[in-house]
Amino acid sequence: MSVRIVTLLAVAGSFSSAALGQSFTPNNLVVSVVDLTTSNNLGRPVSLQQFDLSGPLSASANLSRVFNLPATPSQTATTVPNSFVLSGTATSEGLITLSPDRTTIGIGGYNTWIGRGGNTSFTTGSVATTLNFSGNAGTGAAANVPRIVASVPANYASITYTLMNNTYSGSNFRSAVSNGAGGFILGGTSLTNTTANRLTGGARSYTTGPASINLTGAQGTDVNAPSLVNTRFVGPGPTAGSIVIATQSSVTSVGSPGLYTVSGGNAVLLPGFAAPTAGSWGPNDFQFLGNTLYIADDGNAGASGTTGGQLGGLQRWDFNGTTWALSYLINQVNTGTANVFAGLRSLTVISDGSANTIYGIDTAGRLVGVVDAGASSVFTTLAVAPTGFAFRGVEMTPGTLVPTPGAAGLLALGGLVAGRRRRAR
């Protein structure tokens, strides 16, 4: 039986400010969307949108649910309960990830009001002020805008929020995955100009507030580990209890972009991942399916040409029992009139046992999808955000019970995190 890609209808006009349904429904897509009515690096409202997939990968899909995360209008109050915003310009933010039991979606952001930010950057504060997301002047790692995780179940009326004050206090907060034990595994970056700021970055674990702890050693000093500051995504690895870190560089560009696992408190490249020149490619989101690995590669900021021997797009890697090897890239998308380059920043994968279907957000901000039939496969443009909005991340809806080898691995991370916490004391 042939498998065809689902084609989603492009959404016209602006998104509704009210939810179109009371809960997300299984076996569909959720896309994180940032309101860019004012497109700048200040705090912008965020919503989670459901696109319905009707039929067995053979019919169309439509926008059916819009859940707006609470975002407080501009103000000067220092306390903003549960208000959730993201940068209007940081395309690396807003990744969303299903929990190991597939019941909730996690997304990391900033607990402040709409329009708040620094006068030079939303997250990196070369000029630190009380309106900056970076640390207070003279304190380095102090966070005057707490980072926040929204954990969103299918019934989004029962959403929960978690504050973690010392996490990524100098820069972007990018991903948050439930560890299966009431906490989170986190990905993000930090300023590299001070040791104090570097101590807040990298791959981190959070179990109880407000502090999170580094999973890969001393970020500010352990350069040979390497010290992974610029993490994009942290998720379950290929074996139970393992985690994998996607990074595009490390402290002061020492260390290489690639996928790392945690071993003895250090970050170690997965076998088969050679150490290319820093900045030569841009791994972001990823997903393991048994001995197959898919990586969303933005091609080093979306470059469409060869960068250090790598092209952006969907990378497929396969495991031969000893090492991982890059099998091929899929980086063309049909826009309806032509095939053009598509680097990826976010992805989710489902499998029916005979074919893998990958949905992604490409570097042009399109929602795209493809059935993996080899290197000649071409993405289909599924939806384009209306003017004034931007797609950031994509995931299956909570409650989607799609067997995903490796996804259960994160369930064992509760013990790993607890062990790290005991050693850190």
- Look at residue 407 and give its three-state secondary structure: helix
Is 278 within 8 Å of 252 (Cβ atoms)?
Answer: no
Residue pair 261/237 in contact by the 8 Å Cβ criterion: yes
pLDDT for res 108: 93
Distances (CA, A) of 71 to 65, 113, 147, 189, 254: 18, 6, 14, 23, 37
Reference 54, options 114, 108, 115, 9; nearest CA is 9
Q: CA-CA distance, 135 to 169, in Å (whole number)?
A: 6
In the chain, what is the straight-line distance between the N-terminal and C-terminal CA atoms, in Å?
A: 57
Q: What is the model's pTM? A: 0.83
Quote the CA–CA distance of 334 and 364 in Å, as a whole number. 13
Buried b / exposed e over 198-228, threshold 16 CB at 10 Å, is bbbbbbbbbbeeeebbbbbbebbebeebbbb
Per-residue pLDDT tens digits of the chain, which is 425 residues long:
222 333 333 333 333 334 456 899 998 999 999 998 766 677 899 999 999 886 444 335 688 899 999 998 876 555 677 889 998 888 889 999 998 888 999 999 988 888 776 433 334 433 233 333 443 333 333 345 778 899 999 998 889 998 876 677 667 889 999 888 888 999 888 765 556 656 677 788 888 766 777 787 654 443 333 456 678 898 888 887 788 888 876 444 445 678 888 877 777 888 988 755 444 578 899 999 999 999 999 875 444 444 344 568 999 999 999 999 999 999 999 888 899 988 999 999 988 888 899 999 999 999 998 999 999 999 988 888 989 999 999 999 998 876 444 444 444 454 333 332 222 22
pLDDT at 248: 77
- Give the model's pLDDT for residue 138: 32
Q: Is 342 exposed, middle or buried (0-12, 13-18, 19+ CB in 10 A)?
A: buried
- Phi and psi torsions of 412, nearest 5°: -80, 0
At a CB cut-off of 8 Å and minimum separation 6, what does 356 contact?
289, 292, 294, 349, 350, 371, 372
- Cα separation, 201 vs 191, whole angstroms: 8
CA distance 258 to 293: 13
Q: What is the per-residue pLDDT for 54?
A: 66
Q: What token pair was written down for 261? A: 């696992």
Asked if 70 contacts 17 with a C-beta cutoff of 8 angstroms, the reply is: no
Q: How far apart are CA 72 and CA 83, in angstroms?
A: 6
Strand residue runs (E) in 255-323: 258-263, 266-269, 283-289, 292-297, 313-319
Which helix H or strand E contains 423, and what residues bound it?
helix 413-424
Q: Point out which residues pair with 148 in neighbouring strands.
A: 109, 163
Instruction: Determine the Cα–Cα distance for residues 323 and 273; give it in Å rounded to an integer.
Output: 8
Nearest-5° Cα angle at 389, 387 to 390? 120
Beta strands, E only, 126-206: 147-153, 160-164, 173-178, 184-188, 204-206
Q: Cis ω on the peptide bond leading into residue 45 (within 30° of 0)?
A: no
Q: Closest Cα to residue 304, out of 351, 271, 341, 270?
A: 341
Distances (CA, A) of 382 to 49, 179, 335, 345, 400: 14, 31, 9, 16, 20
d(CA 9, CA 122): 33
Cβ–Cβ < 8 Å for 289, 404: yes
Residues 6+ apart with CB under 8 A from 35: 44, 45, 46, 47, 388, 389
